[in-house]
Structure 1
């Protein structure tokens, strides 16, 4: 499939990489020189220009694209780009940055196929929206739940335990486990917990402090909140 991604910022570039890794053809539109250079160093085809202009979209191949992802931080650019792309028969995905506006845009931006809020969905959510699939973040399903990554410290009460010996509160469960500096995987019951190991846990907010006490101990801040595609950090 062919995709046009508007923005080579964090969300746009990560989405483009995910699509390319799955074998899709991706063209990026970006007007910031530094971001254009960064995307080109990663071997992307980049059109230098304003994605809300029809001539720029046409140069990027909107006429032959299956979908357009307007993923900039500018709502006006995103909305205009989606209207132009819809005119060319593309599936359209529009990024918004304020959660409270999501209902408004879903109600009034009827021509847009999917409205996404990447602070919740991240690149994987944007990719699925472009492909026409569906994805829901934990925060959309149950606001009292949180996915966190915790790193075992030498102060952790469970240091030296195996996964099978780990007894978390009833409202918490281990989703993934990774040895120090190793990729996260589905946990094995025989794995031992050692300093530097990481656990990804789904837990109710009410038991997060208890979970942290067990896996980290009192004196550390080794806790990371994880979003729907397991990425953290600011979005551009």
Structure 2
């Protein structure tokens, strides 16, 4: 049975609201942070979870959200710089928390340590953000169509593929290992799938779960 998780969502606009709805539909707990007073009332009326009225870049507001008890925080406002700042502040207060930032561009290299995943582009919806939040060790790098994801997956110690060569692994039809996370070359039959290492795959939507099970166990 999947463990109930708790997520903090900063930004209660269209994407933030849909993300919260998707997570609660999956049985998870959410807490929303929204700076606009009128929007706070609308979010409260949606009965998705507690709503804090305030600026999520403010340390005092994030402390109210009890980040130590959260599995992840998603910064989903309309402003890329604001979302990055929220993740920076959250990481300062709770270094171990997972972070997701909605952005127009890829995360700057100097922010990689505080932004674990980036929702690109801004037009992507809350369904996708929820998938990224709940997929530990997995992040979607590109979401070009409804049928294909380019994902980055970390191999778990107990995963079926751990310690095996690619030509020893039966990946499902509709999936392709592209490279290791450092992208220094294309994967080939001799590519070793090492535990704790990250790999990039192209995966059709109907086999995502099967691929994840192979890499995560």
Partner of 1:95: 102
1:116 to partner: Cα distance:
0.9
Which ranges of structure 2 fall in alignment gaps of 5 or more residues?
A: 149-204, 206-217
In 2, the alpha carbon distance for the partners of 1:74 and 1:140 equals 25
Distance 1:128 1:14 in 2: 12
Aligned partner of 2:82 in structure 1 is: 77
Is the CA contact 2:72–2:98 (under 8 Å) kept in the aligned structure 1? yes
Question: 2:176 maps to what in 1?
Answer: none
Equivalent position to 2:120, from 117, 121, 124? 117
How far off its partner does 1:61 sit? 1.6
Q: Which runs of 5+ in 1 are unaligned?
A: 143-227, 229-236
Specify the structure having the higher radius of gyration (Cα): 1
Contact 2:75 2:101 in 1 (8 A): yes
> What SS class does the counterpart of residue 5 from structure 1 fall into?
strand
Tell whether the 8 Å contact from 2:101 to 2:117 is kept in structure 1 after alignment. yes
Q: Which runs of 4+ in 1 moved over 6 A?
A: none
- Select between 1-10 and 55-64 the one with higher mean Cα deviation: 55-64
* Equivalence for 2:129: 126
1:144-163 superposed matches below 5 A: none
Secondary structure at the counterpart of residue 78 of structure 2: coil
> TM-score, normalized by length of structure 1?
0.54
- TM-score, normalisation: structure 2: 0.58
User: Are residues 1:66 and 2:66 paired?
Assistant: no
Offset, 1:141: 9.5
State the partner residue of 2:109: 107
Task: Confirm or deny: 8 A CA contact 1:11 1:118 kept in the other structure.
Answer: no
> How far did residue 125 of structure 1 move?
1.6
**Deviation sequence 1:152-206 (CA, Å, 0-9, x none):** xxxxxxxxxxxxxxxxxxxxxxxxxxxxxxxxxxxxxxxxxxxxxxxxxxxxxxx
Task: Classify 1:141/1:21 alpha carbon distance in 2 versus 1 (closer, same or farther; 3 Å).
Answer: closer
Contact kept in structure 1, 2:8 and 2:33, CA below 8 Å:
yes
Superposition CA RMSD, Å = 2.3
Aligned residues: 138
Task: Report the counterpart of residue 138 of structure 1 in structure 2.
Answer: 144
Partner of 1:48 in structure 2?
53
